[in-house]
Amino acid sequence: MASVACVSLLSEAEFGCEHIATQITQEGGAGDQFKTSFIKTHNALAPHTKGALTAQNGVHTTGFLKPKYMCLGCSEVFTNGDRKTHAEKTGHRFYMESRSRTLFCQTCGDFVYDCGLERLRSSTPESTLELAQKRRFSDSSTDELYVRSNANKRTCAKQGVRGLFNLGQTCYLNVILQTLLHDPILNTYFLGNGHQSHECSAPDCVGCAVAEAFADFNSSDKAEGFAALNLLLASWRASPTLAGYQQQDAHEYYQFLVDKLHSSTDGHNENHAKGCPCFFHKTFYGKLRSSVTCDKCGNVTRTEDPMVDLSLDVQVQAKKRAMGGVGPSATPTLSGCLESFTSPEKLNAGVYNCSGCGGSAQKATKQLRIKKLPAILCMQLKRYEHTFSVSEKLEGRIDFPLSINMLPYTTNPHTRGDKSRYVYDLSSAVVHKGKLDAGHYYVYCRQGEEWILFNDDQVTSVPESEVLSADAYLLFYNLRSLAAAPSQ
């Protein structure tokens, strides 16, 4: 059995912050009064029914996109900005957040965790206050000392995976969110000092809803699935075309979500052409260069546009050779699609007016190349073809690798620099099954060295071979080395 001295070194901090320590250790019963207020506020914010919207003192405890804060001093409820004003006016410094019922210290300007108060809320209502007044942690039982001295501490991150409940034709949202949740770059951002929901004042902020999903996914000890309700509501309110329970395109939702995450960042620049220093722009956005060369005079016109993904054509059978095929039955490949995407394309006269030829219509050659690569590269394999008469979906597998070097498809394909700086590793593969208007999405995500299939709330471990044989619609690749990222 470890000694009490050893246990004290292993134990948690006795108080969540110095301000809580001052409050709880006050003499004359003030400390017990604070504990009583803490429990009453905790119970007042408890939802009455699972998944229902309930109101306590004018605040909904669940289903709210923006948090509310109940004052432990007077039980009044405030928003983020009003809370600060109330604290300055009354000196009340402690508040409980309405959704997760976590304690917020206004003086610290952050949420705080106090192990003593947490034991109060986890105890039975009948024994809560009695336990708080009779026993402090240093006087804990022998069993508690034994557990503390022999327990292994781990980082604040969930070990394992969780599915997402389908809220009614929301599989398109689930597959994109799972892709983000399993991305190490985004985990570092949202679980670090990324988007701070308690400081955000934007109404129906998508960034806040995504941050909440990351917190739910990583901090809960539950293994069952959870619902990204606030992200769904925020998406509906931000885009009327998404509102309702119709089937949506996962690729379009990814574009929408990236745009809203970019917009949710302080100091972002809406004009992508001028560049933006925000995290999401650097992570998701690349740059595509279009070069048009006049066949007559050789004049070259270049334009550069931001790109959030690459849409690769796999429809036209005439391009099968460019896609890597050698016959009618050959399986198209991702590298072949990229070669086709970046290959020169002939433009007929009337499509291009050459400034070098006095603005007259001329035949020309157009070529697309990647000027700048993002850290997270999304590639859409265009399986849908729409014409005036019919809309069709191309079924069948397109071969894609676990790793790919993107250097040959950039504006400097023959660079003599470190070519490993352009290597990307597969992180997720989204699959669409069914028809255009009545299909279903599921996604394969890399979890450490394993691959996991997420079919809404159903989670299954799968072999690597199953991933590579999937009829992928969206492929997500991560730059292998951020430190060596190319700066085109």
Q: Is residue 470 part of a domain?
A: no
In this structure, which amino acid lies at residue 100?
Answer: S
Residues 193, 402: Cα–Cα separation, whole Å: 31
Q: Is residue 135 part of a domain?
A: yes
Residue 70 sits in the same domain as residue 207: no
User: CA nearest 431: which of 383, 473, 385, 379?
Assistant: 473
In this structure, which amino acid lies at residue 251?
Answer: H
DSSP 64-113: -SS--EEETTT--EE-HHHHHHHHHHH---EEEETTT--EEETTTTEEE-
Note the pLDDT of residue 452.
Answer: 94
Q: Is residue 442 part of a domain?
A: no
Note the pLDDT of residue 179.
Answer: 96
Residue 123 sits in the same domain as residue 206: no
Low-confidence ranges of the chain (pLDDT < 50): 1-13, 48-64, 124, 126-140, 152-158, 317-328, 488
Residues 320, 339: Cα–Cα separation, whole Å: 11
Note the pLDDT of residue 482.
Answer: 73
Q: Is residue 363 part of a domain?
A: no
Note the pLDDT of residue 127.
Answer: 45
Domain stops at, among 263, 279, 306:
263
Both tokens of 320, joined, read: 């099968």
Q: Is residue 156 part of a domain?
A: no
Residue 194 sits in the same domain as residue 138: no
DSSP 386-400: E-SS-EEE--S--B-
What CATH code is carried by the domain that includes residue 77?
3.30.40.10
3-state secondary structure of 23: helix
Residue 214 sits in the same domain as residue 96: no
Domain count, the chain: 2
Residue 145 sits in the same domain as residue 27: yes
Residue 24 sits in the same domain as residue 138: yes
Roughly how many angstroms between the first and final C-alpha of the chain, as a whole number?
A: 60
Upper half-sphere CA count for residue 359 (Cβ side, 13 Å): 0
Domain that holds residue 21: 4-150
Cβ within 8 Å of residue 248, ≥6 positions away: 169, 172, 173, 242
Note the pLDDT of residue 20.
Answer: 86
Note the pLDDT of residue 283.
Answer: 92
Q: Is residue 255 part of a domain?
A: yes
Upper half-sphere CA count for residue 39 (Cβ side, 13 Å): 21
Q: Is residue 24 part of a domain?
A: yes
Domain stops at, among 224, 239, 263:
263
CB of 486 within 8 A of CB of 424?
no
Residue 123 sits in the same domain as residue 203: no
Note the pLDDT of residue 261.
Answer: 92
Residues 290, 302: Cα–Cα separation, whole Å: 6
Residue 213 sits in the same domain as residue 255: yes
Both tokens of 356, joined, read: 């070098």
Residue 75 sits in the same domain as residue 123: yes
Domain stops at, among 225, 240, 263:
263
Q: Is residue 49 part of a domain?
A: yes
Note the pLDDT of residue 65.
Answer: 56
Residue 117 sits in the same domain as residue 198: no
Residue 17 sits in the same domain as residue 107: yes
Residue 146 sits in the same domain as residue 21: yes
